[in-house]
Amino acid sequence: MATTTAKTERSITGKKDLTVTIEPRSKQARSLLPDVIDQLESLTRFLKSLSDGDTTFEVISLSKQSPMTAVLRGLRRTKVAAKKRVEGRAYTYRSNGTTTDRAAKALTALASHKKLPSYVDPYALTHLRDFADDLGKTDHTATVTANGETFKVDERLKEQIDSSLGNIRIAYTSYTGELGRLNAHGSKWSFTIFPPAGPTRILCYFDSKEIEAIRSLVTEVVTVRGRAVYRGETAWPVHIRVDTVESRKSAPEGFWAELPSKLKDHWHDASDADKFIACMGAEVA
């Protein structure tokens, strides 16, 4: 019977899949499902941040016995032509191994203290660090097998990530962009904003009490304000702990094209303005 299960697992597990095994470090440590879900969540965030497209992950095999083993497969979302749609589905998901390759290269570089590939940004490293951190808190360790190589996720890896990331800086700031990827499971609820220019995305953690307000803003353009965490020299935050989220009013059609005439309407009384400018100096209008 055991042989049959093994064969079945082998047949569904592809070369480009990623296997993660989570095991307790001591006999006292127990694998509780909510903890494991949180840990897998951090791992999938790491994998997602390595992918350059619209990639998501499917758990194709999960063994809940100790040690817990999960097999993850990367799926790339692709648009289906209108004529070929089945049951009106606009997208299909195809197996994609790019992220597994990248994860293997990133972990190899970290383990050997070599230069990280360009696609491994502080954002991705922070998620991997979260994964190692979550494991440490529950007294677990994990091994990740990707591309035939096995990597240990433990305190040592966390230290390597920290040395690669550099110092933590914290600042209160704001970012504007489209709100998407609402994630309301696990212990850290989050959404991502996608600014129209600059950083491609910013992960925002929010208080679970605000879920209804946040849900109503999905796909809206918002300005988030809060405590941003920066690592090393990077000028973009790895995440923001959100205090306020404000929906942005859209500019009317053709607003920019008509800007010079609109500016005249919004110009304050000319004589007052001239006095004001004279008082403030040349760099103010």
Partner 1 sequence: MPVTPISSSPAWERRLPKESIYIDSCIWIAQYKPDELTDEQRSGISWLNEQISMGNVIAVASSLLLVELLTVSAELIEIAYDGRKGLLVAADDAICHRARELQQKCYADKQKCLSNLDALHLSTASVQRCQRFLTLDKTRKNNQLSPLADKQYLERLLGLKIVDPTTLEDQKKLDL
Q: How far apart are CA 57 and CA 42, in angstroms?
A: 12
Nearer to partner 1, 108 or 234 (CB): 234
The span from the first CA to the last CA of the chain, in angstroms, equals: 81
Nearer to partner 1, 28 or 250 (CB): 250
How many other C-beta atoms can be found within 10 angstroms of the C-beta atom of residue 34? 10
Determine the interface stretch with partner 1 among 53-61, 112-120, 127-135, 147-155 (rule: CB under 8 A). 53-61
Backbone angles phi, psi at 95, to 5 degrees: -60, 135
Determine how β-strand 190-194 pairs with β-strand 168-183.
antiparallel
Nearer to partner 1, 108 or 176 (CB): 176
Contact between 119 and partner 1 per CB under 8 A: no
Contact between 97 and partner 1 per CB under 8 A: no
DSSP H or E run through 244: strand 239-247
Q: Which two tokens stand for residue 78?
A: 């692709």
Nearer to partner 1, 139 or 187 (CB): 187
Of 224, 184, 219, residue with least CA distance to 204: 224
Position among 63, 174, 187, 244 found at the interface with partner 1 (CB under 8 A): 174
Summarize as ranges the residues that interact with partner 1 (CB under 8 A): 44, 54, 56-59, 75, 77, 90-91, 93, 95, 169, 171-178, 180-183, 194-198, 218-219, 221-223, 228, 230, 235-237, 248-252, 254-257, 259-260, 262-264, 266-268, 273, 276-277, 280, 283-285
